[in-house]
Amino acid sequence: MKSFFHLYHQTSTQLGRELEESEVTLLKWMYERYTVEEISRRKLSKKYILR
C-alpha cells in the first residue's frame, strides 16, 4: 500500500466524490492496522530467516 494520501485519493476517485468524515476515519484506521500488521509480518519474517 502506498501512502494514506494515495489511498484517500484513489478511494475518492473511484467513488466519484469526496469522502465523508466517517469514511475518512475508517480509512485511517484501516491504513494504520495495515501498517502495524505489515511491520509485525516483516519482523517475524526476519526472525525466521535468522534461525
DSSP per-residue string spanning 1-51: ---HHHHHHHHHHHHTSPPPHHHHHHHHHHHHHHHHHHHHHHHHHHHHHH-
pLDDT band at residue 10 under the 50/70/90 scheme: very high
Task: Output the pLDDT for position 47.
Answer: 67
Q: What is the mean pLDDT of residues 7-12?
A: 95
Distance CA 8, CA 37 (A): 20
User: Higher confidence at residue 46 or residue 37?
Assistant: 37
Q: Specify the pTM.
A: 0.74
Q: What pLDDT does 18 receive?
A: 97
